[in-house]
Structure 1
């Protein structure tokens, strides 16, 4: 028996395919409680590394012999040490997560959402360890990437595989929980970068104004991406209607919750905007639109193949954030007792404005942990 390494990509496929796996997470208890690997058939146990320095005898009876075992830590070193101890004690089928939770945070898994009317397609890129969702709209050899994360090589490689050119990158709003790759991707592909101007008051670079009434055409077909101004999460939040079938809602509306209005320190000011967007503007849209959000909160929101989506009409029936009829109660819900704010969110906003230029390692550290863009954790 020998300790094996498992990549974040391999782990993601196991989680999305609902395969059974036992995870021994050896990070400290606080980090584990804040953020962990989850899945339908994932069993997770937390025993901090420092408790296992003298050996693994204390946990051997809790480690199954008939399941795949994955040891996880922050960067991989501690998990390799503990994994070797388990192998020495005769535990079969033991692996460690290559790159640790940092690699888990950065992996993107492309999922086909569906075809478009004129022969194109829309893909969702699931950042399963962070809960971020990016999109690529493809038509006639061209593509637009929406809410790109900083690992831009994933989109470049996917476009190369599909033999398409990325013509546009779009951010639905100025992100506060992760560093956007939109501007960088546009520069690398010589495409156009679009950002809502009301979110761009402090940015220090040039951009195209993503405004209601403009239509971004992808390819030579009739497929268009139509901006819909929908403030509330930020003052500039702009949803995208793609192919009159898909509603890319950014961080305004999620499958299980709604967007929080406090990440720029403007909760009291933006609560009314949030309610107007969700209870009036979105109400005017066709109920059969497929909502595609920019984030998900828990693995239970993952559907077939890992896609995160829901019919708009169903969300008005089932999403608790869309069913608070009393306005004062709505205000309390979205401005009080919110989950903790995202890690380093102020620095992330500054980076997305172009005011800070952190190193790659600093960017990883800034993004560690779950996203917290929703009202309900």
Structure 2
């Protein structure tokens, strides 16, 4: 007897990272599907809106392959479960629906170990695969710091509990416009320090610790140093970090296959010069052996082994298209005129991260749904 099964976001993530074959039937409306979908090297996906399947799933059966795992997805779960049940009743096997829908896909964080650090600690990258956001946890001596925290703070809490680590700092490389930061909330909950670049914090409504160049932030007994490097361009306060003299956390300034966009505060013409100076001078003076760990990725091709998003700085200067534009006027045109659509609800997200508005959980979820679109070349 055929049975309907469910698959959670973690399982789908691991299939994407492991490049396992999966056929997806997305039953959301065409507009939502075209805006944002599950992607992967071995993912095959078709879109047939739910309302086109209410009178029967024959249209779906014609497109679903035999012998492959088939995952039906919708926004929240209910529609995909209904359609998947009809497909199972039609005699198909290996049929699943996505538990929690695209909502769960947007919010799942996959912890990926970057490396053991020389002082005895560890560095982890948290991959928010459905949103393209990346955050980082530094562990040492029973203490932890989290950088560019997503709002799903319970997932970090569970991780730290498993690692028997105490949170001591949260930091944001800049005032985010594509997702709501959980850094301040997490720091407040545990009575610890929240760091933010002061040039990005001129309109915030809360207290914070200034993240300024030359600051040294210690984590644990081994004194792992997180040293900010002022690197404006994506925002006027954008700040990078060098960890353990090996890892460059570049925020939204530099990605693996693209560069950050300077327009999300409405000041692209003012900030494009800063962006160029950071990428073509400040970063160029750093060691080419540094491993770049960005705050976002735009394409699944940027996921490496085990899902890690990283690249050596020297290789990025050879291969990243955003670092090959030597003519200043051409660079200015590229990053001010040839940009992808702006992130959904980015103005409201910025206001939330400033503390000016306080949307509830469902409102925050709705604000974040969709791709991040923080890069120039993510077209």
TM-score category by the smaller chain?
over 0.9
Q: Report the counterpart of residue 216 of structure 1 in structure 2.
A: 217
Q: Distance in 2 between matches of 1:237 and 1:58?
A: 49
CA offsets 1:130-161 (integer angstroms, 9 cap, x no match):
00000001111111100000000111111110
Q: Report the counterpart of residue 246 of structure 1 in structure 2.
A: 247
Q: Report the counterpart of residue 42 of structure 1 in structure 2.
A: 43
Alignment of 1:22-41 (within 5 A): 22-41=23-42
Q: Report the counterpart of residue 61 of structure 1 in structure 2.
A: 62
CA offsets 1:163-199 (integer angstroms, 9 cap, x no match):
1111000000000000000000111222100000000
Deviation at 1:370, TM superposition (A): 0.4
Q: Report the counterpart of residue 208 of structure 2 in structure 1.
A: 207
CA offsets 1:295-337 (integer angstroms, 9 cap, x no match):
0001110000000000000000000001100000000000002
Q: Distance in 2 between matches of 1:366 and 1:183?
A: 18
Alignment of 1:172-183 (within 5 A): 172-183=173-184
Deviation at 1:61, TM superposition (A): 2.4
Deviation at 1:20, TM superposition (A): 1.1
Check if 1:95 corresponds to 2:96: yes
Q: Report the counterpart of residue 259 of structure 2 in structure 1.
A: 258
Q: Distance in 2 between matches of 1:150 and 1:228?
A: 25
Q: Report the counterpart of residue 83 of structure 1 in structure 2.
A: 84
> Alignment partner of 2:276: what SS?
helix
> Alignment partner of 1:226: what SS?
strand
Check if 1:342 corresponds to 2:343: yes
CA offsets 1:262-305 (integer angstroms, 9 cap, x no match):
00000000000000000000011000000000000011100000
Q: Report the counterpart of residue 133 of structure 2 in structure 1.
A: 132
Q: Distance in 2 between matches of 1:54 and 1:282?
A: 58
Which is worse superposed, 1-10 or 356-365? 1-10
Deviation at 1:5, TM superposition (A): 1.5
Which is worse superposed, 58-67 or 129-138? 58-67
Alignment of 1:358-377 (within 5 A): 358-377=359-378
CA offsets 1:109-132 (integer angstroms, 9 cap, x no match):
000001111111100000000000
> Alignment partner of 2:62: what SS?
helix
Deviation at 1:64, TM superposition (A): 1.2
Q: Distance in 1 between matches of 2:193 and 2:146?
A: 10
TM-score by length of structure 1 reads 0.99
Deviating runs (4+, > 2 A) in structure 1? none
Which is worse superposed, 51-60 or 132-141? 51-60
> Alignment partner of 1:62: what SS?
coil
Q: Distance in 2 between matches of 1:51 and 1:162?
A: 48
Deviation at 1:59, TM superposition (A): 2.7
> Alignment partner of 1:275: what SS?
helix
Q: Report the counterpart of residue 315 of structure 2 in structure 1.
A: 314
> Alignment partner of 1:64: what SS?
coil
Q: Report the counterpart of residue 155 of structure 1 in structure 2.
A: 156
Check if 1:6 corresponds to 2:26: no
> Alignment partner of 1:125: what SS?
strand
Q: Distance in 2 between matches of 1:176 and 1:227?
A: 20
> Alignment partner of 1:122: what SS?
strand
Deviation at 1:223, TM superposition (A): 1.3
Equivalent pairs counted in the alignment come to 377
Residue ranges of structure 1 left out of the alignment (5+ in a row): none
Which is worse superposed, 363-372 or 4-13? 4-13
Q: Report the counterpart of residue 267 of structure 1 in structure 2.
A: 268
